[in-house]
Structure 1
Amino acid sequence: MSFILDLSGIELKLDIRGYDKNYDKTSDNSWCECDFSFRARPWLDYEIKNDELLLSSEVDELSKSLTKLLKGEFCEHCECYEFWCLESDFVFKLYPQKDRREDPKYAYIAPAYEFQDIYLEWCVYFWHDYCTENFMTFTLQREDIEKLRDYLISVKKNSLRLR
């Protein structure tokens, strides 16, 4: 089952297979096979297929971290929480809700804009025979974060049915 999301005209597609709920017994050897793509033709067409990009433990930890973010359980004084995957394709930066009234960067805040809602920056590093220092960042707002978290949970649940 694929996860598909429209990020303001950029189509994100992610498919995670091979999640193993018993990863704690296999240490860091329980890789999920992943396909992902980011497309906005004609200017963007990046795809990786059948690659071991996420550990089963990372699927768990990321879904837990996204749940914490959605519930407001990250400290609002923390700038962001970074989730680095063992493989260097993905870095997820989770930003908690922020009270702009306490931020010295702002001299004035219009009514109804006092709070900045949660968001996530998904950094995707590019490969060219090796991981380069080049990357693109895709921003997900609350609704998209919920969808990603729900997809990760469904990957875990569906793997239980397949066994």
Structure 2
Amino acid sequence: MDAECKLESNGTIFRFCITEKGYNDGGYFWTNAAIYVSNWCLNYRTSSEFLEFSELIELRDKLTDLINDNLNEIEHLEFIEPDIQVLLKPRHDIRNDGKYEYIKGGYEIEDIVAEFLLYPVLDDAFTDQHYVMPLYRQNIAELLKYLDNMIAKLK
């Protein structure tokens, strides 16, 4: 099993790497994990322990709900460490948005997306500036397979 999930989308590389669960720090297990995102204008990396193990499980469970169409509205995941946030957007009918006057037949339903909001450290501080890395159905499925395998291995 690979210790890394590597996805490519429109010239951007998204890598999620988990190597160990971490030690018990008063009930928290700071998982040795990192997300890397790079393209021609960005080279981003989270801190090496940005997720607690229960947050990793929550991320996996919410992505599972998203891919199985068990979410009815947008969900916003935030974590203890502010490196990332994730917006989970379920399938929806764009005819109900009121944004469009015309929608070509066959394009009425917008599929799921998980938007990873990446917050870089600038001058040793977090700001409201962020980069959005969208993952679509196929990439979400690949990431879920990786998370399922790694969580089972680390339990």
Tell me the TM-score normalized by structure 2: 0.88
Matched-pair contact (CA < 8 Å) for 2:91–2:112: yes
Shift of the alpha carbon at 1:103?
2.3
Cα root mean square deviation, aligned: 2.1
The aligned residue for residue 10 of structure 1 is 12
The aligned residue for residue 64 of structure 1 is 61
Aligned equivalents of 1:92, 1:107: Cα separation in 2: 30
The secondary structure found in structure 2 opposite 1:133 is: coil
The secondary structure found in structure 2 opposite 1:30 is: strand
Q: Aligned runs of 1:75-114 on 2, under 5 Å?
A: 75=72, 78=73, 80-114=74-108
The answer to which structure has the higher helix fraction is: 1
Which among 23, 45, 56 is matched to residue 47 of structure 1?
45
Aligned equivalents of 1:13, 1:141: Cα separation in 2: 15
Shift of the alpha carbon at 1:152?
1.2
Instruction: List runs of 5+ in structure 1 lacking aligned partners.
Output: none
Matched-pair contact (CA < 8 Å) for 2:46–2:83: no
29-38 or 91-100, which deviates more: 29-38
Shift of the alpha carbon at 1:97?
0.4
Letter aligned with residue 149 of structure 1: L
Matched-pair contact (CA < 8 Å) for 2:91–2:109: yes
Aligned equivalents of 1:85, 1:32: Cα separation in 2: 13
Matched-pair contact (CA < 8 Å) for 2:37–2:45: yes
The aligned residue for residue 120 of structure 1 is 114
Shift of the alpha carbon at 1:133?
2.3
Tell me the TM-score normalized by structure 1: 0.84
Matched-pair contact (CA < 8 Å) for 2:86–2:114: yes
Instruction: List runs of 5+ in structure 2 lacking aligned partners.
Output: none
The aligned residue for residue 30 of structure 1 is 29
Aligned equivalents of 2:97, 2:128: Cα separation in 1: 31
Which among 132, 141, 145 is matched to residue 150 of structure 1?
145
Aligned equivalents of 1:16, 1:152: Cα separation in 2: 9
Matched residues, number = 152
Shift of the alpha carbon at 1:96?
0.5
> In percent, how many aligned pairs have the same letter?
27
Shift of the alpha carbon at 1:56?
0.6
